[in-house]
Amino acid sequence: MSIETRILTCLLGSHVGTDRFGNRYYQSRRTPKEGRRRRWVVYKGIDEPSKVPPEWHGWLHYTTNDVPAEDNRYGWQKEHQPNLTSTPAAYMPPGHVLKGGQRAAATGDYEPWQP
């Protein structure tokens, strides 16, 4: 976090909560004349928006005004995963250039289109 962000957060922000990943959520102390307080997140580690869990995403974007509880997830919900694009763990289908470029041979049910 930059020194400017740290100073502005301390002066203007009110800490609202922390998620299970260590991200800290704030909102402005004063309500502006326009009506809504500004809300923001200070990420733990690298600034990556996909690290915000769904329940906090809703709070940040005014979908809900209720601050998420410590664990308000349903039993069927999967654990949050960050965006893996451009990482070694990213999905690459069989035949992808970075995965060797070898695909399985076409089976007999494939017929190329002919005009």
Residues 66-108: pLDDT tens digits? Answer: 888 776 667 887 777 778 888 888 888 877 877 777 777 776 7
pTM, full prediction: 0.67
In a domain? residue 112? no
In a domain? residue 101? no
The closest of 7, 64, 18, 73 to 41, measured between CA atoms, is 18
**Domain that residue 8 falls in:** 3-90
In a domain? residue 100? no
Number of structural domains the chain divides into: 1
* Long-range CB pairs of 71-75, under 8 A, 24+ apart, other chains included: 71/20
